[in-house]
Amino acid sequence: MNMTILNFILLLAGGGDGGGGNPLMTPHLGLFFWTVLIFVLFWLLMGKFAFKPIAMALKNREDSINDSLAAAEKAKEEMAALNAENERIMIEAREEKARILREAKEEGDRYISNAKEKASAEAKKLVDNATLEITNQKNAAIQEVKNQVGMLAVEMAEKVLGKELKDQKDQQNYVSDLISKIDLN
């Protein structure tokens, strides 16, 4: 069977039955020996000079890829930590914003309340001043009416009695006495 496969390969290569074909394609024991020897020597040289550096390069590449994957994983973890930190900072900022708004509203309410109290106190003061002014005006008017009534009373009494007071001073004293005795309230 081995011979049949070998003959088939030789036939395809152009050597028919092994008789007159290509001498390199004809399997001779010497050619087979030298081919195997050269192949083994080539394999050993390649193993010593090529396979080790290639294996080292592949190992270095594998280590580099593993290091890159580890660095990527570490960066991913750091990014997750930064995202968590950012979220925490955002929550704190929202709370701070709410606190500032609440304090500003309270301060505004206090300001409005103080302004209302001030306006109320100012209005009360104005009303009190107006009341005092009205009272003073009323008292002055009453005093003026009393003086006029006194003068009229003196004139009438003068006419009635036919007596005129001689000087202005006596007249004023007499009017003051009459005014003090009159009670208009």
pLDDT tens digits, residue range 59-114? Answer: 999 999 999 999 999 999 999 999 999 999 999 999 999 999 999 999 999 999 99
Lowest mean pLDDT among 42-46, 91-95, 160-164, 175-179: 160-164
Query: In Å, how far from its chain's centre is CA 142?
Result: 71
Question: Within 10 Å of residue 10's Cβ, how many Cβ atoms?
Answer: 18
Residue 16 pLDDT grade (very low, low, confident, very high; cuts 50, 70, 90): very low
Determine the pLDDT at residue 20. Answer: 54
Please state the length of the chain.
185
Task: Please report, in angstroms and rounded to a whole number, the separation of the first and last CA atoms in the chain.
Answer: 157
Q: At what angle do helices 52-161 and 168-181 cross, to 10 degrees?
A: 110
Q: Please tell me the predicted confidence (pLDDT) of residue 84.
A: 93
User: Is the predicted pLDDT of residue 7 greater than 90, yes or no?
Assistant: no
Nearest C-alpha neighbor of 53 from the set 17, 37, 61: 61
Region at 26 (left for phi over 0; alpha for psi -120 to 50; beta for the rest)? beta
pLDDT tier for residue 13 given thresholds of 50, 70 and 90: low
Residue 8 pLDDT class (50, 70, 90 cuts): low
Q: Is the pTM of the predicted complex or chain greater than 0.85?
A: no
Which of 38, 36, 55, 37 lies closest to 47 in space, CA to CA? 55
The whole-angstrom separation of Cα 12 and Cα 19 is 14
* Cα 89 off chain centre by: 9
Integer Cα distance of 16 and 26 in angstroms: 10
Which residue has tokens 């394999």? Answer: 43
Alpha carbons 155 and 163: distance in angstroms, whole number: 10
Is the separation of the CB atoms in 22 and 13 below 8 Å? yes
* Distance of alpha carbon 140 from alpha carbon 147, whole angstroms: 10
Q: Is the pLDDT of residue 41 over 60?
A: yes
